[in-house]
Structure 1
Amino acid sequence: MEASFCLEALNQALEQGQPEIINSDQGRQFTGNGWISALKNRKIKVSMTGKGRCIDNVYIERFWRSIKHEKIKLFEFDDIHELEDLIAEYIHHYNHERPHQALGDFVPAEVFSGAKIIS
């Protein structure tokens, strides 16, 4: 993943709201000046998992496993735009339609908005 792609994704995500902290792995795109400066300029705390410790970021690791096995590995794509569209559709599905056991079988959007409270 290129740093520019990550910064673009960050900017799009921040249009939805600004978190207090963003956690990432220690990939070069997240340890470089561009990423760190973008977070610090917005007063977002920088958090990174331990080197080689995917368990530290278990929720996003699970997301990538799910998208790979539920969508990406099931299709062949004619071009990158088809893949981008599929990923965008899946992210919407994952956040707005797909119940998550770890969230008490609510969808993330319900929990994030405060409409549902995990007990």
Structure 2
Amino acid sequence: MASLKSLKGAAYDIAHHAQSGLSYLHPYIGQLCEEKGLIEASVNLLDSNPYPCELRRIDQLESSCIALQEKFKDILAKLNLLLSEVRGLHLKFSFSSSMDDYYTCSVESTLLKQDGAKFVQNVR
């Protein structure tokens, strides 16, 4: 059984990575949000296709979402956690209403354990 601290850490680590330039989600996710007049987009990392359903599909963002999904699996492995212990993992990207740039956003990570426990981590 995974420890509370480890799962909270995994939820934080994936949010931090998603916010960073290393995730290669930026500037694409911000540009596509602005195109639709949105300031938020969500990614379900446990979905077979983790692309944000509210956004137009582009190859660069699709590849980055799949890579983010793999990064989460790597984070779990490094913490000696099993993917089967996680029922859900959603990332919400929030941009300012002024949309100053396509890189600056906050990321909220919501991890749901198989037993129903929920952890929410925010990276601003």
Structure with higher RCO (Cα < 8 A, 6+ apart): 2
Q: For this structure pair, what is the TM-score category when the shorter chain's length is used for normalisation?
A: under 0.3
Q: Structure 2-normalised TM-score?
A: 0.26
Which one has the bigger helix percentage?
Answer: 1
TM score, norm. by length of structure 1: 0.27
- The structure with more strand, counted as a fraction of residues: 2
